[in-house]
Amino acid sequence: MAKSLEYLTEALRRLPGVGPKSAQRMAFHLLQHDREGAAMLSRALYQAVESVNHCALCNTFTEAEVCDMCADEARDRRLLCVVETPADQVMIEQTLTYKGLYFVLMGRLSPLDGIGPKDIHLEKLLARAADGVVGEVVLATNFTNEGEATAHYISEMLKARGLAVSRLARGVPVGGELEYVDAGTIARAMLDRRST
């Protein structure tokens, strides 16, 4: 087979959830039916790798030093909501129940996978939460075992520094991942959030 086709098939396997068969199928599809899409994806990957960084304040993906939301003067700077991923942040925004700011961990504590406090940027969170303006930290990690353990760890860490910490109410189904929960449920959980 053509060398650059083999290389493409190999590279497609770097995508999560893509095995050898589907990588080959994707490569053939792009070359046979969608070369424009392939070129577009090539440019998009290059551009993203070159330009996307982490927000200095909330740690989410952004092309600027500080992301649009952190720079938005209309948000309530006394509230800081901690989420695992940008997708979770999007879900919470869709509920229209929260007007504060965010901190995006980009992960969760997972000792079995070797993911510890440093990997989810807890020092950055600590500095952010202790800015003297934040009055309440709302923990909105997933209600999975790992998400709960992460929330517990962060809660202890922040309360030791005298910060008020709350947790989304258990309107979110136990074991549920925020990204897959309907906005109504998250809205209720946000309104019912309790201190921890």
Residue ranges in contact with a second copy by CB under 8 A:
1-5, 7-8, 10-12, 14-17, 21-22, 24-32, 34-35, 37-49, 51-52, 60-63, 67, 85-87, 90, 106-107, 179
Helix axes 3-12, 20-33, angle to 10 degrees: 120
User: Cα angle at 75 between 124 and 80, to 5 degrees?
Assistant: 35
Q: Round to whole Å and give the CA distance between 168 and 92.
A: 11
Near Zn ion by CB under 5 A: residue from 70, 91, 109, 168 = 70
Distance of CA 186 to the CA centre of its chain: 16
Residues 62, 186, 97, 193, CA torsion sign:
negative
User: 65: how many CB neighbours lie within 10 A of its CB?
Assistant: 11
Residue nearer to a second copy on the CB measure, 35 or 194: 35
Among 57, 80, 139, 172, binds Zn ion (CB under 5 A): 57
Nearer to a second copy, 37 or 184 (CB): 37
Compare residues 67 and 80 and give the one whose CB is closer to a second copy.
67
For the chain, give the number of residues.
196
Single residue of 26, 27, 58, 168 touching Zn ion by CB under 5 A? 58
> For the chain, how big is the Rg over CA atoms in Å?
20
Residue 67 in the binding site for Zn ion (CB under 5 A)? yes
Q: To the nearest whole angstrom, how small is the minimum distance from the Cβ of residue 78 to Zn ion?
A: 16
Q: Does 55 bind Zn ion (CB under 5 A)?
A: yes
Tokens of 170: 């258990």
Closest separation between CB of residue 184 and a second copy, Å?
19
Q: Which residues bind Zn ion (CB under 5 A)?
A: 55, 57-58, 67, 70
